[in-house]
A and B are shown apart, each in its own frame.
Chain A
Amino acid sequence: AQTVTQSQPEMSVQEAETVTLSCTYDTSESNYYLFWYKQPPSRQMILVIRQEAYKQQNATENRFSVNFQKAAKSFSLKISDSQLGDTAMYFCAFMKPYSGNTPLVFGKGTRLSVIA
């Protein structure tokens, strides 16, 4: 079974600074998807970024980028130029493809606070 570990329950960062959230996972699969979801207070989870394991290039979405290290089974999220609106719970998630309706396996989340 796959597991996802987020070792930082809480983090804080000054506005305009850069912060990196850590995620490691365990799987025997060679092909899979990895995600970062953001959940602002009292709002739904929204997708921040998605990485396909067979792609070596790290995914980037505006101020959000990942450092995907397949051999190390590490998938960290870097937020550049942090903004107050980035304050949220961030979940790392894993998906194994080709298994029917493919459920997401989540980590416990990291609560990020951006401080003015």
Chain B
Amino acid sequence: EPEVTQTPSHQVTQMGQEVILRCVPISNHLYFYWYRQILGQKVEFLVSFYNNEISEKSEIFDDQFSVERPDGSNFTLKIRSTKLEDSAMYFCASSEAEEGIQYFGAGTRLSVL
């Protein structure tokens, strides 16, 4: 069964460093999402992406964040200069249709020291 793949499963970085979280969505899906979950808190929406551009973004998704689909398979989330409060689990999701079911990856745990 096709699934969304995220790498790495755990990323440790120093404050101020840039990180790139990678996702391979399901191959025929057209809509892509990033969510994050700070420990003990809700899963929060960051950004959605369609047709090579951002469709919607939350207040969390500030200038430190960017997303890209560099090729036909990968979907990346870049945090330019990480802060301690960026430590969280980051989930990638994809869907086939605009209101379709979103399929999630297993997440990347980002630890900022």
Contacts and interface: CB of A to CB of B under 8 A. Distances in A.
A85 interface: no
A97 B99 contact: yes
Contacts, number: 62
Interface string A92-110: 0001011111111111110
Interface stretch (A19-27, A36-44, A72-80): A36-44
Contact of A102 (B49, B58, B99, B106): B99
A100 to B, nearest CB: 5
B48 A100 contact: yes
Nearest to A6: B42
Contacts of B3: 44
B82 to A, nearest CB: 23
B92 to A, nearest CB: 9
B43 A91 contact: yes
A10 B57 CA distance: 31
B45 A100 contact: no
B56 interface: yes
B90 interface: no
B55 A100 contact: yes
Interface in A1-55: 4, 33, 37, 42-47, 50
Classify the interface of chain A: helix, strand, loop or mixed.
loop
Given A33-B99, A37-B104, A100 B56 contact: yes
Interface in B8-48: 31, 33, 35, 41-45, 48
Contacts of B58: 103
Contacts of A107: 42
B50 A101 contact: yes
Interface of B: 3-4, 31, 33, 35, 41-45, 48-50, 55-56, 58, 91, 98-99, 101-107
25 contacts: A37-B104, A43-B106, A44-B4, A44-B91, A44-B104, A44-B105, A44-B106, A44-B107, A45-B104, A100-B48, A100-B50, A101-B48, A101-B49, A101-B50, A101-B55, A102-B48, A102-B99, A103-B45, A103-B48, A104-B35, A104-B43, A106-B35, A106-B43, A107-B42, A109-B42
